[in-house]
A and B are shown apart, each in its own frame.
Chain A
Amino acid sequence: MARFDQTKLTLRILFENVTSAAGLLIVLGYVLIAIIDAVYPQLIGVVNAYAEVPDYTNPVPQPPSLQHLFGTTYPGIDLYQAVVAAIRVDLWYSFVIVLAGALVGILVGVVAAYYSGFFDEILMRITDIFLSIPYLPFAIAVGFVLGRGLDELSLALVIVWWPLYARYARGQALSIKENAYVEAARASGVGSWGIITKHIVPNVLTPVFVQISLDLGTVVQTFAALTFIGFASANPLLPELGKLISDGFPYAISAPWVVIFPGVTILIFAVAMNLLGDGLRDALDPRNRT
């Protein structure tokens, strides 16, 4: 019998489904844009990928034209360049947020599951308390303490996000630690820390990373939502999608493009991410296989 190749099978199922393949391609496109932004932004016509370039001589938003593909937004910023540069900023922060949240969550969840009993109960009740606060007002409270920059916002979102991963990782670890190989490791004298880091965590990682990829669309949206309500004040010229919408807000009626283009950019990414997520779920669920 041929060796069962999990990754190949998952990818095949993913590509057989037209919608999830489309989702994957769009997401890869966004990642590609973000990479080009960081390496050689001039290739896609971006003059400065790290700051918006205002033109105070012509601050009023101009409609889309050949010179300004998406038009301009206040004060005279080329919207195409700002949106493309913002993709890098939003993707980068979102990646960091989910990865940091997953790191803390996996640690708490695995340790709680491994030691179980009273310790588990305490850790999980703390997790529940963090989960019992709606994330947006909670992020507002955290932002109030730390300040309203993007780094502070990311930290706030990590604090909001880790409990979800803690619960998820704990659920996975609870079943993994019952496996025979964990018992074998313990019998051969491997310490608790060795079992956690060498035997449990590596096996928790795969399902958690799937969950991360499903969450990325939500994180991008939440990140942009918080910058929209006033979280990007520390660096007013940093290109960011939610901030672009918020900056364009006063001009939305007379110059609709200033909010339409950044919003559509978020919408397409979120739709693609959800399509990809649905495909991933189907591909990884053995019940769907024939």
Chain B
Amino acid sequence: MTLRVYIIRRLILVFPTLIGLTLIVFILTHVGGYQRFLGEYVNIHSAIPVAVQEQRLTQQFHLNDPIFVQYFYWLSAFLQGNWGYTQTPIYSGTVLGAIGLFLPNTIILAAFSSILTIIIGIPVGVWSAVKKDSLVDHSTRIFSFIGYSMPVYWLGLILIIAFASPAVCPCLNIFPISGSVNIALTNNLSWFTSGISYPTHILLIDSLIHGRLDIFVDAALHQVLPVVTLTFSILASIIRVMRSSMEDTLNQDYIRTARAKGLRQGAIINEHARRNALIPVITLTGYTIAGLLGGVVLIEAVFNLPGIGYWTTEALISGDIGGIMGGTVIFGLAFIFSNLIVDILYGFFDPRIRY
């Protein structure tokens, strides 16, 4: 089977998973049924009598039909871009509107952390495998052990204490500990209304488009602590896998051959060993994404960052069906598609893989 056929087959397999994912989430959120649904949507302050509202809602959401029939109504609306409504203290409106508002913040956080993890994790892993049992290797091991065991939200709180507590050192009060931008800077801006920046919804980019360097710097400073926390929480596993994979590779016969024919250490590591040692790391990336998505929920809660995780948590606390469904589906989609990309990359990098 060629790589192309493999990719097509893998793409087709995404659909049953998507159906399964949405079905599980739909049944979960609608199993409480009827009364719960009406309680969420009925407006007791409205001039329209409650009974009339209930009747309309029952018709609108097909509440008298069996749950599987309801699911198909929901699925067809979902595919047409009607994802329902959400009502939480931080946002009221359509679910898609909320996702458009919150997702960019989460993407920025996840992207910075992933890039940092790769930039730091791979060289450190290679280094500690090459210098096995040295001081570097041992300190890396201790570091990754602690990183592996540290509750990520607690690390965030410790950073908040370190950088904001007057008891520690006033000199450290450089990084803001809450939110995504200083509100005083964004007041009365035409391109930043009710917390939404235009045109990209990513403040770091929009501020540059509008030539506001001060806002850019402020927004960037707000990202520092969350990004450091998230990076720390996923860095440990990348270093661990990179180290053991590099160690395995360095014991292979072809590395010994390369040594025997007199290649320099640098050439052996960079040309022969590292590329092969990267393959397990690509697989691990798939698992790391799960950790990343979980970490995002907690870190956004700790740092008050208005992202998807923060919104989903708010939806949980205020019992908002639209938010729970929208958030879970987005996380599921992100997970499914990143795993898909990882699988394809894996086949691409390792020609020995049988598709």
Contacts and interface: CB of A to CB of B under 8 A. Distances in A.
Interface string A130-170: 10111111101111110010000000000000000000000
Interface stretch (B22-30, B91-99, B264-272): B22-30
Given A134-B332, A141-B25, A253 B151 contact: no
27 contacts: A130-B24, A132-B332, A133-B328, A133-B335, A134-B331, A136-B331, A137-B312, A140-B327, A141-B25, A141-B28, A141-B324, A143-B316, A145-B31, A225-B152, A228-B153, A230-B316, A245-B153, A253-B165, A256-B167, A259-B154, A260-B161, A263-B158, A267-B146, A267-B151, A270-B148, A270-B151, A271-B146
Interface stretch (B13-21, B61-69, B205-213): B13-21
A133 B21 contact: yes
A217 interface: yes
Contacts of B161: 252-253, 256, 259-260
Interface in A253-280: 253-254, 256, 259-260, 263, 266-267, 270-271, 273-275
B331 to A, nearest CB: 4
Contact of B17 (A129, A217, A252, A274): A129
Contacts of A125: 16, 20
Interface residues of B, number: 52
B238 to A, nearest CB: 16
A126 B166 CA distance: 52
Q: Which of B309, B316, B334 gathers the greatest number of chain A CB atoms within 10 Å?
A: B316
B17 A145 contact: no
B316 A144 contact: yes
A269 B31 CA distance: 37
Contact of A267 (B17, B29, B154, B339): B154
B24 A267 contact: no
A257 to B, nearest CB: 10
Contact of B145 (A137, A245, A275): A275
A228 B148 CA distance: 19
Interface in B312-336: 312-313, 315-317, 319, 321, 324-325, 327-328, 331-332, 334-336
A137 B332 CA distance: 9
B294 A136 contact: yes
B154 A263 contact: yes
B16 A144 contact: no
Interface of B: 16-17, 20-21, 24-25, 28-29, 31-32, 145-146, 148-154, 157-158, 160-161, 164-167, 290, 293-294, 297-298, 301-302, 309, 312-313, 315-317, 319, 321, 324-325, 327-328, 331-332, 334-336, 339
B335 A274 contact: no
Given A130-B24, A144-B28, A275-B145, A138 B328 contact: yes
Contact of A134 (B154, B165, B335): B335
B319 A144 contact: yes
Contact of A230 (B16, B32, B302, B313): B313
Contact of B339 (A132, A221, A253): A132
Closest 10 pairs between A and B when the two form their complex, measured CB to CB: A129-B20, A270-B149, A263-B154, A136-B294, A137-B331, A134-B293, A271-B149, A256-B161, A137-B328, A141-B328
| Main secondary structure on A side of the interface with B | helix
A11 to B, nearest CB: 23
A69 interface: no
A229 interface: yes
A141 B149 CA distance: 26
Contact of A144 (B24, B150, B324, B336): B324
A231 to B, nearest CB: 8
A249 B331 CA distance: 26
Given A249-B157, A252-B160, A267-B149, 13 more contacts: A126-B20, A129-B21, A132-B20, A134-B331, A134-B334, A135-B290, A140-B328, A144-B28, A144-B315, A229-B316, A245-B157, A253-B166, A263-B154
Nearest to B32: A145
Given A252-B157, A271-B149, A274-B145, A128 B29 contact: no
B146 A230 contact: no
Contacts of B154: 245, 259, 263, 266-267
